[in-house]
Structure 1
Amino acid sequence: MTQAKSPFNVVFVLFDNVTQLDFTGPAQFLCRMPGAKVHVAAASLDPVMTDVGFGIMPTVTFEDCPQADLLCLPGGLGVAPALSDDALIAFVRAQASAAQWVTSVCTGAFILGRAGLLQGRRATTHWGYTNLLPMVGALHEDARTVFDGNVVTAGGVTSGIDFALTIIAHLHGEDVARSLQLNFEYDPAPPFAGGTPVTSPPHIVQAMQTRFYDARSAEMEAALVATA
């Protein structure tokens, strides 16, 4: 266990069409971590539109953001176009150079990869995109949260909450993490077995792949090739 300084700056980087739960899930837990101060960074202070149609207000711009102790990149439908945003990638690269922890949730891993931060690392992302991780030099590991040195990647969407609790336990001990888990009554009991390709019925997996992830994966691949 390591001790975090106070304040411990947690910086989330937002872009248009971000998946709000990739951000708000871990943010809700990390903001209660002892000594933590959460910053929401974007290119400007204008609302950042999420992929469910409402906006989130940034608290800082890239120019005036403090140095992150923990940097986090959420994912979402906006990741593919964000890969060609040179200002965003430069900000991520600069912040990561001095951050204690460099992290992502879901397809935010590809922004880390685009910034050169996953080369030779074990990592994970949403199941629909794991085959693309080698394009950013990463080796896929099948887990909800993957630690490789100071780089931590989480799987799809809700994995961000597990990632946050794991980081909190690492920094402050299991009792603190368990207290926050109790505080937010995080006791998942989904109405259906599933949530991963292994635990879901094959016809459901195939339907989701055909209806959504084949096209989205191809879009991500094209964006990675274009920005390589």
Structure 2
Amino acid sequence: MTNSPKPFHIVFLLFDGITQLDFTGPAQFLARMPGAVVHTVAKSIKPIETDSGFAIVPNCDFEACPQADLLCVPGGFGTKDVIADADTLQFLRDQAAGAQYISSVCTGSLALGAAGLLDGKRATSHWAYTSLLQRFGATFEKARVVKDGNIITAGGVTSGIDFALTVIAEIAGPEFAEAVQLGLEYDPRPPFASGHPDRSNPKLVAMLRERNYDAVLKDLEQILPPRTS
């Protein structure tokens, strides 16, 4: 008779305006870890509107959510509403106090910062918003995944998959993580070398900033605390 693995509770915060791949990417990988139990939590049980034209229904609210072993905050344009919501920030603080890992993908790191969880930590975020990390006393580190103690932050969107594999390797071992990577055929060979501003055409970077990010950045700067030296 074999013993079942101890449950490992993975809690993803959901909110309107979430970038669904920030959540679904790492969730797909982390769910294959031994003992993994994935919980999707929101302030209330209602369909959560994603940035992709479909909704996700959370399976619990803040009150019913179990204690996370791994807490993850995805990002998206709805992050600004998370930052402004006192109940959500308190939920993150309460969960973080008992979590083995506290993590984020993309602009989810800004929510961790607003909850006071990044002070004195190295962290990353989506490339368009990394300048905001210093508002929370964090130091930006240019990497797809940054681990500082039990805080793990991932860069923009697809970096969440790298984050998930990093966690799987630490908990279940590199060989198991490699097996998950193989099973899900994560072998990225993009057709264009434009996945990061360092490698992309500067004109494209400027266009994206102006079209997609500058207005959101300005809004966030207005609601975040003053810069920390």
TM-score, with length taken from structure 1:
0.95
Structure 1 stretches of 4+ with a deviation exceeding 6 A read none
Tell me which residue corresponds to 2:51: 51
Give the deviation of 1:194 after TM superposition: 1.4
* CA RMSD of superposed structures (Å): 1.3
Give the deviation of 1:43 after TM superposition: 1.1
Give the deviation of 1:183 after TM superposition: 0.8
Does the 8 Å CA contact 1:75/1:107 hold for their aligned counterparts? yes
Give the deviation of 1:53 after TM superposition: 2.2
SS class of match (2:130): helix
Tell me which residue corresponds to 2:158: 158
CA-to-aligned-CA distance 1:37-63 (integer Å, 9 cap, x gap): 000011122111111221101011100
Does the 8 Å CA contact 2:16/2:48 hold for their aligned counterparts? yes
Task: After TM superposition, list the pairs within 5 Å mapping 1:28-39 onto structure 2.
Answer: 28-39=28-39
Give the deviation of 1:172 after TM superposition: 0.9
What are structure 2's unaligned runs of at least 5 residues? Answer: none
User: Aligned pair 1:23/2:23, yes or no?
Assistant: yes
Give the deviation of 1:189 after TM superposition: 1.1
Give the deviation of 1:197 after TM superposition: 0.5
CA-to-aligned-CA distance 1:49-81 (integer Å, 9 cap, x gap): 111221101011100110000000000000012
Distance 1:19 1:205 in 2: 20
Task: After TM superposition, list the pairs within 5 Å mapping 1:1-228 onto structure 2.
Answer: 6-225=6-225
Percentage of matched positions with identical amino acids: 56
Distance 2:134 2:43 in 1: 28
Equivalenced residue count is 223
Does the 8 Å CA contact 1:145/1:154 hold for their aligned counterparts? yes
SS class of match (1:127): coil
What are structure 1's unaligned runs of at least 5 residues? Answer: none
TM-score, with length taken from structure 2:
0.95
Give the deviation of 1:223 after TM superposition: 2.3
